[in-house]
Amino acid sequence: MTKGSVKKQKKSNAGFTKTDESAQKKKLDKLIEKGKRQGQLTYDEIYEMLPEDLLLPEKIDETLMVFDDMDIKILDNDAKVLKPKEDSFDKRKVFENDAVVGSTVDFGTVTDPVKMYLREMGLVTLLSREGEIEIAKKIEAGEQEVLRAMLETTIGTESILALADNIEIGNLRAKHVLRDIDEGDTYVDEAAQVETYLATAAVIRELDRENQDLRDNLFQMKNDSEEQRRARRAITRRINKIFDLLKDWRLESSVVDRIEDMIKNQINWFDEKN
C-alpha cells in the first residue's frame, strides 16, 4: 500500500480532514457570533450556515447544546423549506422533528425531559375555582349514585352494617371506613363522630330489618298484585331513607370497591348456577 493510499484511507475513516474541521469551526463560530449579537437564531439560518456534518443525527444534539449553553434561543419560522439536492442529506428534517410549530423554544427541551414537561404543562389551561367546584359536584354525584345502587342490594346494606359492627367492637378505626374522619382529628373528635355514626347505623339496621321482612313476604304474595306493589313501594321508601342517612357519611373508596366486588361475585355466582 502506498503512502497516498494510506492517507486516502485515513481521510475516509475520519470523515473529514483538518482543513474540513477548520472550515466547520469557522462556520460554527460565525453562526455563534451572529446568535450572540441577535440573541436568537432561526432554523433557516442554522440550516443555511452549518455544514452537513454538524447536522447529522449523531451530531445534532451536541451542536444544539452549544447554542443552549450560550443562551441563544432558536426561533421556528414559517419560511419555505429549501429542497435539498438529489441524493443529498435533508438537513431541515432534523429540525422539523424537534420544533414546535409557531412557538419559541430553547434547545434545553431537546435533551432535558423536565424542561419539556414544564413547557407542555404550560400549554394546559388551569382550572378556575368555578371549574373545580363543578368537577367536585360531579364526583360527589357519581359517588352518591354508586351508593344508591349498592343499597338496592341486600349485600350492600349488610356490608355497611357489618363495618359499623366492627367499628363498635374496636376491630376497625372509623377513619379507615369514613373519609371525613381525618388523621388530624383529636381522639375526642373522632369518638364523637363514631358515636354519631353508630347511632345512624342503628337506625339503618332497623329500616333494613323491616325491608327484610317485606322481602320475605313478597314471595307469599300474588305476582303483580296490588299488595305486592305496595310492598315494593314500602321497600323503596326505606331504601331512600337509608340513602339519606348515609349520603353525608362518605365511605372510603377502598371500602366501596370491596363492596362492589362482593356484589359482582354474587351476581357471577347466580349466573353460573343458572
Decide if 186 contacts 228 (C-beta within 8 A): no
Domain boundaries, the chain: 16-122, 129-267
Grouping H, G, I as helix, E, B as strand and the rest as coil, residue 178 is: strand
C-alpha to C-alpha distance for 88 and 110, rounded to whole angstroms: 25
C-alpha to C-alpha distance for 19 and 16, rounded to whole angstroms: 8
116-173: pLDDT as tens digits: 666 666 666 777 888 889 998 999 899 899 999 999 999 999 999 999 999 999 898 8
Q: Does domain 129-267 have CATH number 1.10.601.10?
A: yes
pLDDT at position 103, please?
45
The Cβ of residue 255 has, within 10 Å, a number of other Cβ atoms equal to: 18
Across 39-78, b (16+ Cβ under 10 Å) vs e yields ebbbbbbbbeebbeebbeeeebeebbeebbeeebebebee
Average pLDDT rounded to a whole number, residues 165-194: 79
Round the CA-based radius of gyration of the chain to a whole number and report it: 36
Average pLDDT rounded to a whole number, residues 175-187: 71
Residue 198 CB partners (closer than 8 Å, separation 6+) = 164, 167, 168
- Which of 61-75, 100-114, 254-268 has the least mean pLDDT? 100-114
Q: Which residues pair with 40 in a beta bridge?
A: 73
Q: Are strands 40-42 and 73-75 parallel, antiparallel or unpaired?
A: parallel
Residue pointed to by grid coordinates 351508593: 147
pLDDT at position 94, please?
47
With bands split at pLDDT 50, 70 and 90, how would you rate the model's confidence at 83? very low
